[in-house]
Amino acid sequence: MLGFVNVCKSAGPTSAHVVARLRRIYGLYARDRKIGVGHLGTLDPQAAGVLPVAVGKATRLIPMLADQRKVYACTLVLGRSTTTQDAHGETVAESPVPADWQRKLEAALPRFVGKIAQVPPMFSALHHDGKRLYELAREGKTVERRPRQVTVYAVTLLGVESPAAARLRVACGEGTYVRTLCHDIGEAIGVPAHMGALVREASGPFVLYESSTIEEIAAAPERSVIAPEHIIPFPTIVLDLRESADFRAGRVVPLPEGAAARHVFVRDESRTLVGVGEALGALLAPRKVFV
């Protein structure tokens, strides 16, 4: 068992709970209670949408996933800010929303596109002195957090709702907190704000309309597994019996003609995926060996 699963997570479960459920599903299917399963980026419990997961030895390919862009649809709620910057936190500030809030919002959005600085929220999984920030927040503690630079590729206003809420689509890079973005947009237009609903529509090459629920995956585990070649854009080469045996043993082998990329997926004569190789001149060096 080796590949990726595009999970459609519902609001409520943590990413760790989804991984544990998939470990049971694929452990039973592959008859391997120790099968490796790992997600490619945490999705908050209250959020829904795409949660990519690596299964089996595909967990070793996670560092090779270069595309870390994300797309979210969210609700920006004006008039109240919270401790968690989302709808589940306690109220920090409230104020009336001005009648011209939509005009101010449209004027402010371009300021949040590009490389921007974000202060990570206290309710986050970042570490501080050996503890998660959310653990300190639950103890009533607040610590200083240094701003981090994140990249926002686009913020699109999808529509407005009564009395004072807007639907946004955010395309961003790794490490961006959408709820912090909502909080900061509120500050920019002079109104307390928090994030309402959040759906992750895409995570790198994984998109929502191709995702499967846990129930669908449990019903057909093998059909839900995506081959690594469909996710990571490396070409594939096939080695003969002797060369694939050498590759499996960690030895350098001749690089087949036509393999122009630096990294390639390597399959043997039976078309079994045996690893990832790196081109070193006319030679191919094993970098990840699966079999």
Q: Can you say whether the dihedral through the CA atoms of 46, 87, 171, 201 is positive or negative?
A: positive
User: Which one of the listed residues 44, 86, 184, 268 is annotated catalytic?
Assistant: 44
What DSSP state is assigned to residue 96? P
Residue 96 burial by Cβ neighbours in a 10 Å radius (0-12, 13-18, 19+): exposed
Contact between 50 and 207 (Cβ < 8 Å): yes
* Rounded Cα–Cα distance for residues 3 and 218 (Å): 16
Q: Which residue, among 99, 108, 71, has the nearest Cα to 183 in the 3D structure?
A: 108
Non-local (6+) Cβ contacts of 92 within 8 A are 81, 82, 83, 192
Please confirm, yes or no, whether 86 is among the known catalytic residues: no
The residues that are catalytic are 44
